[in-house]
Amino acid sequence: MIDWYIIDLIGTCVFAISGALSALNKKMYHDLFGIFFVGFLTAVGGGTLRDILIGAHPIAWIRDPNYLLVIIGSVSVAVLGRKWWLGTLRRPLLVFDTLGIGLYTILGMQKALNFDVNNWAAMVLGLISAIFGGVIRDTLVNDLPLIFDRQIYATACLAGALLYLIGRSVALDPMVNFTISASLITLIRLLAIRNGWALPRIK
Amino acid sequence: MIDWYIIDLIGTCVFAISGALSALNKKMYHDLFGIFFVGFLTAVGGGTLRDILIGAHPIAWIRDPNYLLVIIGSVSVAVLGRKWWLGTLRRPLLVFDTLGIGLYTILGMQKALNFDVNNWAAMVLGLISAIFGGVIRDTLVNDLPLIFDRQIYATACLAGALLYLIGRSVALDPMVNFTISASLITLIRLLAIRNGWALPRIK
Amino acid sequence: MIDWYIIDLIGTCVFAISGALSALNKKMYHDLFGIFFVGFLTAVGGGTLRDILIGAHPIAWIRDPNYLLVIIGSVSVAVLGRKWWLGTLRRPLLVFDTLGIGLYTILGMQKALNFDVNNWAAMVLGLISAIFGGVIRDTLVNDLPLIFDRQIYATACLAGALLYLIGRSVALDPMVNFTISASLITLIRLLAIRNGWALPRIK
């Protein structure tokens, strides 16, 4: 059996590292505080916005100290090993990020569906959980947010979210449904990166 | 009798179209997802921020699927008819937007006044309902937000909001009060556009 | 005995003036509305974000009209005396701002600790209370936010926040604890400005 809490902390770790590396890479944030700040917002941004929108208090990182401890540890690891990470580990990190958006989209939907939320809004809230941290990260380091890149990104999340809703409506076992839907997101995203898949351009 | 729910959905439609057309016009968001994203945030941004500030859960588009369906339909219409809209319909759209801020300012105040809100804050919350979606839209497409344009814009909303509070304090019929106040906003804004009215410049 | 409510209103006044002067100084916001808008967001931004994160409704300025009246008065004073302020009063204002972040960090923590908040999150929420208004102000006038300046700023707030938590854990008298912790923040910040203290640069 999967422990959702551990999955959530692993996602927090992965997103915190991805935020810290973006900050280190762009040389916009020269001191420790700035790097922690970007790592923190990348890690908690999506879930926090989701919880504010559905009114789910207390928010996880505010109630439970483990989230902030994981972020402090992850950013420290990113800073201490920064030469190694930025040299050879970019590809693994992209894979982690891709795993992360798959897990977070469906985790975010599951949480939202416990509240008074319609199915369309649940998909939007799952998407927000997965991508909003990255949008903050990219905006803070002055990159065009990944979701506006033409390559399939948010669309992969929405496809997996739709599949999850269909599985839920036919009473598929939650664990099976979770695994299939999250895997679909990660698979579509990896194929999109490899093959350069993009939505049609609108002229 | 006016149906507030229908008015709210019409406003959602108008703002979604205005967001989608801005995105199409600026050519910053080339694919369907980016255009839906800007249309969605323009349509729900103001009301969502208001509801978060007053703690009014569940937020309308999260509870009721019709808001997202209206947005999907409106953005689709904007994309399919984009040559027509951007060619000949900019003037009608400006009029719709102007109708929209009148309706939304007073609708937003009415909702806020059902909560523990002082009169000054109610005016601010009505203003936020009307303009915050447009602020997001203009920021996303890298325009200076319309509210910072020197022409009378937010001032028109605040004038109508003040009139509504005065009408309310003398127990004017709510429907009459709504109609007069919302019309005042639209009228001031239209006159400001036509005559180039602006607040005094501060040197 | 100190009256927390008066301290909060004084902080609101100081931050509103600092926002209005930034807007006047940058000449980005030429009319009264824009200047009020920046002053308002600078004054209420930090406390509002803290209250949304912990779900503390109603938010102070929404319930109590005195906050908005103080902001209207403060921004008016800033605008009417703008030549005097921008000529000779920049140094006093920096001192006020430095007093402000000391008071607001600890006031913000005190409020957060009344909710279901862990100690690490309480420090983050105190920091947010003190600095988020300034981040909005600097972003709106296109300055690099002060917190990303290399000079010690957020670090001073976090040091005072940590001291407050230590004092609280040994059951120090709340008033003594408040005074010592807030003073430490102001002292570190003033020394950092005078001596150019900065966090180590990460290469």
Structure confidence at residue A117 as a pLDDT band (50, 70, 90): very high
Q: Supply B60's token pair.
A: 């309308």
Share of chain B above pLDDT 90, in %: 51
DSSP B144: P
Instruction: Assess if residue A201 is contained within a domain.
Output: no
Instruction: Assess if residue B200 is contained within a domain.
Output: no
CB atoms C52 and A52 under 8 Å: yes
Does position A170 have pLDDT exceeding 80, yes or no? yes
Q: How many domains does chain B have?
A: 1
Taking only the tens place, the pLDDT of each residue in A31-66 is: 788 889 889 999 999 999 999 999 999 999 999 999
SS3 labels along chain C: CCCHHHHHHHHHHHHHHHHHHHHHHHCCCCCHHHHHHHHHHHHHHHHHHHHHHHCCCCCHHHHCHHHHHHHHHHHHHHHHCHHHHHHHCHHHHHHHHHHHHHHHHHHHHHHHHCCCCCHHHHHHHHHHHHHHHHHHHHHHCCCCCHHHCCECCHHHHHHHHHHHHHHHHCCCCHHHHHHHHHHHHHHHHHHHHHHCCECCECC
Instruction: Assess if residue A180 is contained within a domain.
Output: yes
Per-residue pLDDT at B143: 67
Q: How far apart are CA C19 and CA C113, in angstroms?
A: 28
Per-residue pLDDT at A144: 65
Does position C127 have pLDDT exceeding 60, yes or no? yes
Does position B62 have pLDDT exceeding 90, yes or no? yes
Taking only the tens place, the pLDDT of each residue in C67-111 is: 999 999 999 998 898 877 777 666 666 777 788 889 899 999 999
Q: Which domain holds residue A100?
A: 4-195
Cβ-nearest to A62 among C54, C148, C198: C54
Per-residue pLDDT at A163: 97
Instruction: Assess if residue A200 is contained within a domain.
Output: no
Taking only the tens place, the pLDDT of each residue in A121-153 is: 999 999 999 989 988 888 777 666 666 666 688
Write the CA distances from C145 to C104, C140, C182, C186, integer angstroms.
18, 10, 22, 19
Per-residue pLDDT at C90: 65
Per-residue pLDDT at B89: 61
Instruction: Assess if residue B87 is contained within a domain.
Output: yes
Q: Which position has the higher pLDDT, C196 or B166?
A: B166
B152-179 mean pLDDT: 92
Per-residue pLDDT at A90: 65
Instruction: Assess if residue C200 is contained within a domain.
Output: no
Interface residues on B facing C, Cβ-Cβ cutoff 8 A: 52-55, 115-121, 124-125, 147-148, 150, 154-155, 198-202
* Shortest alpha-carbon distance between residue C69 and chain A (Å): 28
Instruction: Tell me if C10 sits within 8 A of C73, measured CB to CB.
Output: no
CB atoms C33 and B116 under 8 Å: no
Structure confidence at residue C147 as a pLDDT band (50, 70, 90): low
| Strand-pair partners of A80 | none
Q: Supply φ then ψ for residue A78, to 5 degrees.
A: -65, -40
* Shortest alpha-carbon distance between residue C80 and chain A (Å): 35
Of A160, A152, A151, the closest CA to residue A126 belongs to: A160
Instruction: Assess if residue B156 is contained within a domain.
Output: yes
Averaged pLDDT score across all residues of chain B? 87
ipTM of the complex model: 0.87
CB atoms B52 and A54 under 8 Å: no
Per-residue pLDDT at A55: 94
Does position A86 have pLDDT exceeding 80, yes or no? no
Q: How far apart are CA A98 and CA A45, in angstroms?
A: 17
CB atoms A202 and B32 under 8 Å: yes
Q: Which position has the higher pLDDT, B65 or B32?
A: B65
Taking only the tens place, the pLDDT of each residue in C27-69 is: 666 678 888 988 999 999 999 999 999 999 999 999 999 999 9
Q: How far apart are CA B160 and CA B166, in angstroms?
A: 10
Instruction: Assess if residue C97 is contained within a domain.
Output: yes
Kindly report which listed range (A177-181, B193-197, C140-144) carries the lowest average pLDDT score. Answer: C140-144
- Render A24-85 in DSSP notation, one character per residue: HHHT---BHHHHHHHHHHHHHHHHHHHHHHHT-PSPHHHH-THHHHHHHHHHHHHHHTHHHH
CB atoms C201 and A82 under 8 Å: no
Does position B1 have pLDDT exceeding 60, yes or no? no
Interface residues on A facing B, Cβ-Cβ cutoff 8 A: 52-55, 115-121, 124-125, 147-148, 150, 154-155, 198-202
Does position C1 have pLDDT exceeding 70, yes or no? no
Per-residue pLDDT at C82: 81
Share of chain B above pLDDT 70, in %: 88
* Shortest alpha-carbon distance between residue B190 and chain C (Å): 19
